[in-house]
């Protein structure tokens, strides 16, 4: 659920729901997107994996800029050995949005890998979340509950520490590379590491739900005042079979 809270004043939450059927066995069941004080139509289309060149990102705050709280909820269909795994998640936010990561305290990936979340300064924590994954053990599907902690990393990119306790002990870092593609304010590109796609040898892992939230209090994500034109948002999911889906929506600021 992408949700926004603009510094002060009264706001409303609007939820948009888009159901998508794809060539890869309906791997995406539903993506829920919401922004405060926004509304608009949603559409979907199939798409393959895409990437954009990384551009220099702005540093100092713009006039009238406000901190924004944001998050996303993704729900996928139950796992199946015939179904591809999700190995890429790309999120696109509108022009007028930016991250302030280049000016904030940073967490070292080396320290995070060696010590876990305790290895990074508290001021580098910019968000948190949960996820549910599945793997196959002994021929049976078993659920894995995962805890997510997001840090501001080198160059202002996002580091997400993924931690699971049972039935498989998981400690993985997912790096979110951030760029400023044409037509959008930011793209957040997450490549799922092998340790999550195969938590144990010969035991593939599937993502089923993702619920992540960026703190507005921290101010990592920011936006300018309400524009006269609709905001354009997009999410792309890529799969291990090379296919993917793209969901787009326009949200009018009110």
Separation of alpha carbons 254 and 250, rounded Å:
13
pLDDT in tens, 212-234: 988 888 889 888 766 777 777 78
Q: Where are the domains of the chain?
A: 13-253
Report the C-alpha gap between 109 and 115 in whole angstroms: 10
Chain mean pLDDT for the chain:
76
Label residue 12 left, alpha or beta by phi (over 0 means left) and psi (-120 to 50 means alpha): beta
Strand partners of residue 160 = 150, 174
C-alpha triplet 116, 121, 127: angle, nearest 5°: 75
* pLDDT given at position 57: 52
Which residues contact residue 169 at a Cβ distance below 8 angstroms, ignoring those fewer than 6 apart? none
What is the model's pLDDT at position 225?
63
Closest CA to 202 of 150, 142, 135, 103: 135
If one counts every other C-beta atom within 10 angstroms of the C-beta of residue 2, the result is: 27
Q: What is the pTM of this model?
A: 0.79
């Amino acid at each position: 659920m992408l949700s926004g809270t603009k510094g002060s004043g009264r706001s409303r939450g609007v939820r948009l729901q888009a159901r998508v059927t794809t060539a890869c066995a309906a791997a995406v069941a539903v993506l829920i997107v919401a922004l405060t004080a926004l509304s608009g139509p949603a559409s979907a289309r199939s798409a393959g994996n895409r990437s954009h060149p990384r551009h220099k990102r702005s540093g100092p705050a713009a006039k009238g800029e406000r901190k924004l709280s944001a998050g996303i909820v993704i729900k996928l269909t139950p796992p199946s050995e015939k179904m591809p795994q999700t190995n890429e998640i790309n999120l696109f936010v509108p022009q007028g949005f930016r991250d302030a990561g280049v000016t904030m305290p940073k967490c070292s990936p080396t320290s995070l890998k060696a010590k876990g979340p305790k290895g990074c300064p508290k001021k580098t924590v910019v968000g948190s979340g949960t996820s549910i994954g599945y793997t196959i053990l002994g021929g049976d599907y078993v659920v894995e509950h995962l805890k997510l902690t997001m840090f501001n990393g080198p160059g202002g990119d996002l580091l997400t520490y993924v931690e699971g306790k049972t039935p498989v002990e998981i400690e993985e870092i997912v790096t979110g590379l951030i760029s400023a593609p044409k037509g959008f304010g930011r793209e957040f590109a997450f490549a799922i590491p092998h340790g999550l796609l195969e938590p144990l040898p010969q035991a593939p892992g599937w993502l089923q739900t993702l619920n992540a939230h960026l703190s507005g209090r921290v101010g990592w994500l920011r936006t300018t005042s309400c524009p006269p034109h609709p905001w354009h948002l997009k999410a792309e999911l890529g799969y291990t079979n090379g296919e993917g889906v793209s969901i787009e929506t326009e949200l009018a600021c009110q």
